[in-house]
Amino acid sequence: MKTQEPIVSIRGLRKSFGEHLVLQGIDLDVQPSQVVVIIGPSGSGKSTFLRCCNGLEPADSGRVEICGRVLTDAGHMLGDLALNRLREDVGMVFQSFNLFPHLSAIDNITIGPRKVRGMSRQQANAEAMDLLDKVGLRQKAHAMPGSLSGGQKQRVAIARALAMQPQVMLFDEPTSALDPELVGEVLQVMKLLATEGMTMMVVTHEMDFAREVGDVVVVMDGGVVIEAGPPSTIFTNPAQSRTRDFLRAVLSRN
């Protein structure tokens, strides 16, 4: 097998909030086009971990290298300008969509390329229509977020992130706020991105997605990675009893 340079490389990542040590030394490599699914109980540090990967949260120590740049090393983070540039390469999708409520779907998608990249409105609109096609929402281009369902809002949020042509996409529980019948349409878009070769780090409780789309499943508990491996191993023969307990609890919910 061809050995590649990881596109994300994390070593000894630590982060506290006050006295509370939330990340206790995380190590992880992500290869280009890999889909890494991060699971674990609430409060285990999954969101904090993702936020440290794009500098939304400063790490206390350890090293994060992503998209060819050292984001943080031993508590020193990239400066604001370089950080903004890095965030163009690292797209993020949140549970709560975070669309601009006063902008239409297409304007939510074009605002980044226009304001940050200086792209013309015409070109930004053309690219946004292609992205709306990809997420199945061409007909909603001029809809305001308030008139969209949660699943549609999340698909616009994904299109908005893609408009910056990121190299890595981070998803933090992108379907957790959705009514059950809308989860599938969002997962389907994420699956499409995965098949197109997008590098993705996905925090989710959707175990079918993890099993089907994940290349690696990372199990976090108490601020550490307790185990990581291919879904076939993690779901059928996990090494840790805490993984078994967590999976039993999540799967019994469905």
AA identity, residue 138: R
- Strand ranges across the sheet with 216-221: 90-93, 168-172, 199-203, 35-39, 216-221, 224-229
101 lies in the binding site for ligand ADP (CB under 6 A): no
Contact 65, 9 (CB under 8 A): yes
Contact 69, 7 (CB under 8 A): no
Please state the closest distance from residue 115 (CB atom) to ligand ADP, in A: 27
Residue of 4, 5, 43, 244 that binds ligand ADP (CB under 6 A): 43
Please state the closest distance from residue 146 (CB atom) to ligand ADP, in A: 27
Site string for ligand ADP, 9-28 (x = CB under 6 A): --------x----x------
Q: Which helix (H) or strand (E) holds 58?
A: none
Q: Which residues pair with 229 in a beta bridge?
A: 217
47 lies in the binding site for Mg ion (CB under 5 A): yes
Nearest of 63, 115, 120 to residue 84 by alpha carbon: 115
Residue of 7, 10, 28, 47 that binds ligand ADP (CB under 6 A): 47
Per-residue b or e along 43-61, where b marks 16 or more CB atoms closer than 10 Å to that residue's CB: ebbbbbbbbbbbbebebbb
Nearer to Mg ion, 46 or 155 (CB): 46
Nearer to ligand ADP, 124 or 220 (CB): 220
Please state the closest distance from residue 40 (CB atom) to ligand ADP, in A: 6
Nearer to ligand ADP, 173 or 185 (CB): 173
Site string for ligand ADP, 48-87 (x = CB under 6 A): x---------------------------------------
Contact 86, 163 (CB under 8 A): no
CA distances from 219 to 21, 53, 70 (A): 18, 17, 25
Residue of 10, 28, 36, 44 that binds ligand ADP (CB under 6 A): 44
Site string for Mg ion, 160-189 (x = CB under 5 A): ------------------------------
- Part in contact with Mg ion (CB under 5 A); list of ranges 21-29, 43-51, 66-74, 190-198: 43-51
AA identity, residue 15: K
Q: Which residues bind ligand ADP (CB under 6 A)?
A: 17, 22, 40, 42-48
